[in-house]
Structure 1
């Protein structure tokens, strides 16, 4: 029996439930539950959350290992020159780099990220890393570069490398608010790995450290504090702590109301905070909690974004809408949302395990697939 299977079995017994009881209450099939308890395979975080809800436990009480995908061979090959550059293994240029030249390259990278041109970004990174490392008295440029590289590593599921780069970024930060922007990246990486306790504890600590006085807080500090509370809400909903989700969203919403509109937290990565971002996370929390009607109700009232209309937050929100429709059996509407995301951000979409989970659910419910559905499954590398 695996450790997680043993935990599920022991928790079920302490809850006074039979396997049939837990299967019925969680919506997980009896055969699947039996295989998990016997240690035949490791369940996904979503499955553990379903068990936790049925037994009124924290999801993390059942976890034994992180839950994440590893990068595919093509992604690893694409990133090898970047990894070498991070270790200083890049040919030196004929001319000395300048802060102006590095800033110009960062501006180019920012435009490429906003246009979903991630492969082109990856090709530029080795020289960018080399050049920024060669500069003296360019702390801000080094910090921004490290944080951006770490974010892209996490997005492509290269979490160990991302952690190492983030350690360097936090060390390079000069203020606590600046350091929090790197921690924001780390929190996102931890959540993508299902490391809920670590994410929550780290976010709470940093939110306490940078808590602003609303009457005289800068926009940057208020926005960064609000984003940390959104990460706490992210962790709490996955950990089956609905009361904590409400508290975290309430604090984030207070910061958003004080700001009055969405503002950039990290312009290079297109990260924002404000009323719209709070709405996105509230909608996401409801779909994770399998309350899709509430997700769609929020989505119906969300205005078009004034900044970052094709940013990752907006695309993630579109996937949340697709998931809500899929949970309700509205598969045509779900696929419409997928097509929007695929048209807007195809390179971003292919890295999203969440997208594969949603489409996998839709595919499993269909006896046959349309050509459009088959094309979409191939485009996001859906497993057979």
Structure 2
């Protein structure tokens, strides 16, 4: 069945009319009618979740094999073209004339890693192919470990920039080549996130839980790294579960992540492939996102107000994503000026990051639909985040 057939069949089995489903889900009758009649080429995951709530089923039941990914635009594809070619060993520059060492490649990776936290994608995309070429020339176990770290970092960046197919191949290679289970788990964390960004929620939850089970720590002996990787996997599992309309499992996953964060007691970087943080603030942000997804924006804003700003990676993707949840909460409450203010703040702080966020386009798109006219700031923001409608 396609999505429309699944919605129609489930609605009839529940004994609901289209009007009754609209009342129960908050989705308009006209949109339900279009979905059931196959007039929509795609249906947003957020819409499917609302329908799943009204029909009392998992979102993935309605979704089937049709996912909800926004792939990179042409501008982004062009930027990362040299990196994709380097991954395919198709760089035209040939071998380096200078000797290559493990320490040298590690140093080059360490130089660009802070740029991940400030989202300097233009600079990173220019530097990566040369580093990748040098890493391929390394021998021995140390060279292999450096390549695994670099593959994980490249996979993180490609996921951030919506190059999902090549990102998945890159992260799978990092997992396969890792000699340390925790290095593999770092790449698995990113791969889970890549699945979530594509709307592959059931697959993402299972993958996260399987890996969490694989590396489950003994709390009395666990290192910070072990707890952070494990806790981060449970945050992704919670995110997938709530989107799949299984809030009880999301609550359980959040409780496990919260326990790991409490044991650590502070924000830390979860792996050496990325700049992902994990700790009490990350868990609070994820909880706030859960409330934004489930239509409880007041709780999202309450958490945002009560949670201190992170000092570790203050412009990292997790912190910025939380600010998008705040913008969404304001928009849900009809506080459009406050929502646009947050989006403008993000545009100033991390313009390259914001341009890759479909979430930002969704928030501003809803505001545009509800307004008779736009301010100059709104129009400029729409251009900056590449809102096409």
Query: Structure 2-normalised TM-score?
Result: 0.96
Greater Cα shift, 309-318 or 19-28: 19-28
Match of 2:37 in 1: 38
Match of 2:122 in 1: 119
Within the candidate set 238, 241, 247, 1:236 is matched to 241
Match of 2:187 in 1: 182
Match of 2:78 in 1: 77
Query: Structure 1-normalised TM-score?
Result: 0.98
Inter-partner Cα distance in structure 2 for 1:79 and 1:117: 13
SS of structure 1 residue aligned to 2:269: strand
- Aligned residue pairs total 383
Match of 2:63 in 1: 63
Match of 2:134 in 1: 131
Shift of 1:323: 0.2
Inter-partner Cα distance in structure 1 for 2:103 and 2:228: 28
Shift of 1:267: 4.6
Match of 2:12 in 1: 13
Shift of 1:104: 2.1
Q: Tell me if 1:25 matches 2:24.
A: yes
Inter-partner Cα distance in structure 1 for 2:272 and 2:330: 32
Alignment RMSD, CA only? 1.1
Q: Deviations over 1:250-298 (max 9, x none)?
A: 1111111111111111255211111000001000000000100110111
Q: Tell me if 1:263 matches 2:264.
A: no
Inter-partner Cα distance in structure 2 for 1:111 and 1:227: 20
Inter-partner Cα distance in structure 1 for 2:60 and 2:209: 17
Contact conserved, 2:149 with 2:183, CA < 8 A, in 1? no
Inter-partner Cα distance in structure 1 for 2:232 and 2:130: 31
SS of structure 2 residue aligned to 1:217: coil
Match of 1:373 in 2: 378
Inter-partner Cα distance in structure 2 for 1:125 and 1:28: 45
SS of structure 2 residue aligned to 1:89: coil
Shift of 1:27: 1.4
SS of structure 2 residue aligned to 1:266: coil
Q: Deviations over 1:113-145 (max 9, x none)?
A: 222211110111111111101111212211111
Point out where structure 1 has 5 or more consecutive residues left out of the alignment: none
Shift of 1:350: 0.2
Contact conserved, 2:156 with 2:273, CA < 8 A, in 1? no
Inter-partner Cα distance in structure 2 for 1:376 and 1:227: 32
Match of 1:339 in 2: 344
Match of 1:200 in 2: 205
Q: Deviations over 1:304-328 (max 9, x none)?
A: 2121011100000000000000000
Shift of 1:172: 1.9
Match of 1:100 in 2: 103
Within the candidate set 169, 176, 201, 2:174 is matched to 169
Shift of 1:100: 2.4
Contact conserved, 2:285 with 2:322, CA < 8 A, in 1? yes
Within the candidate set 145, 153, 163, 2:158 is matched to 153
Contact conserved, 2:149 with 2:272, CA < 8 A, in 1? no
Aligned pairs for 1:172-321 within 5 A: 172-267=177-272, 269-321=274-326
